[in-house]
Structure 1
Amino acid sequence: MPQAHSRRRALAQAGALALALGAPALRAQQPKGALPAPGSRLAVPALTLLDGSRFVPAQAEGKVLVLYWWASWCPFCALQSPHMDQLWRTQSARSLAFLGLSIDKTAAPAAAYLRQKGYAFPSAWVSPEVERALPRPPGLPVTVVLGRDGRVAMAEAGQLFPEDVADIARFL
């Protein structure tokens, strides 16, 4: 899969370059629920996490922030989540902020799933209010990485392979 990974990286870099050069199609506002364009900004609201603590956007200032939409019933999330948890555990001390966003119908199954699997990554339930503030891009799982400047550095819909998840550390 190195070729596909290199191709994704090249396309993301080309999109970021086009945005920096003022490409009108990339500068346009993204449709609601679409994958965010490289270089764009996302307004991440303050959220109550499934463990009862709070995520406040100021916690991520100057850090790389990984947004990870997942669900307890998603088979592709089940394959990717252990790698996301490992990324969080190994890189949180290196200025990585993380916000899992469960799209389960209610918070209870999501919280139970995290406990059952022993996952430590911070995660919130996407309530209708959260969905309005931070619409889920199409697909599942969805991984969006915001650079230290708060701009989208990477946006992927669908399951990431373990080496793709590990490669997120390059943004640190």
Structure 2
Amino acid sequence: MAIVLSMVAMLASAPAQAVEVGDTVTLPSLTLLDGKTLPASAFKDRTVIVEYWASWCPFCAQQNPHLQKLYEATRGKPIQIVTLSIDKKPADAVDYLKAHGYTFPAGMETPAWQAALGKRRGLPELYVIGRNGKVLRKEVGEMFGEDVAALADYAGK
């Protein structure tokens, strides 16, 4: 019995496989760094763009200004942008956002989000998830500004 229980514990703590294009995911709610909660219902019937980032990541520093422009350009469209910091301290993420004037929704990576999207492969890492929960696009590494801007084309998909 002890062997079975330890095997179950190992499986429960094993990292989830990385989510890939074509997989279907269910996104959980997220407590944002400003203390507000973005409920899971905010993702219903919307294309969701999820970006993992860190305050110390130079590639994130190059991509995040483009993500901010996308966030501003898609207000009022059926797109929800959400970003997840992997910083060890939330204060580091908050300071980074304030220093750069970013207003896109940002929270910390949580076990629920890890379970939903699986193991990361790099930073930044970006997912486009369609209204039906299907992963439409996955990008690992920095994207060019025009490629980030083109993500607006996923509205309503």
Please state which band the TM-score falls in when normalised by the shorter chain.
Answer: 0.7 to 0.9
SS in structure 1 of the partner of residue 76 of structure 2: helix
Deviation string for 1:40-88 (max 9, x for gaps)? Answer: 1122211210011111111111111000000000000000000001101
In 2, the alpha carbon distance for the partners of 1:125 and 1:157 equals 18
Supply the distance in 2 between the matched residues of 1:106 and 1:116 (Cα, whole angstroms).
Answer: 16
> Aligned in 2, Cα 1:130/1:147: closer, same or farther, shift over 3 Å?
closer
Match of 2:16?
32
The one-letter amino acid of 1:148's match is R
- Aligned residue for 2:137? 154
Instruction: Tell me if 1:58 matches 2:41.
Output: yes
- C-alpha deviation, 1:167, in angstroms: 1.0
C-alpha distance in structure 2 between counterparts of 1:115 and 1:150, whole Å: 31
In the aligned structure 1, how far is the partner of 2:62 from the partner of 2:71?
16
Greater helix content: 1
* Partners of 2:25 and 2:116 within 8 A in 1: no
Flag the structure with larger Rg: 2
Which structure 1 segments of 5+ residues have no match? 1-30
TM-score, normalised to structure 2, is 0.83
The amino acid across from 1:32 in the alignment is A
Q: Give the structure 2 partner of residue 95 of structure 1.
A: 78
Q: Could you tell me the percent identity over the aligned residues?
A: 39
Counterpart check, 1:144 vs 2:127:
yes
Amino acid at match of 1:48: T
Structure 1 pair 129–39 and aligned structure 2 pair: CA distance change class (3 A): closer
State the partner residue of 2:28. 45
Deviation at 1:37, TM superposition (A): 2.1
The question of whether the paired residues in 1 share the 8 Å contact of 2:46 and 2:131 is answered with yes
Residues in 1 aligned to 2:126 and 2:63: alpha-carbon distance in whole angstroms: 10
* Moved >6 Å (runs of 4+): none
- CA shift, 1:33, in A, is 4.5
SS at match of 2:74: helix
**2:100 corresponds to 1:117:** yes
On the 8 A contact 2:16/2:114 being kept in 1, the answer is no
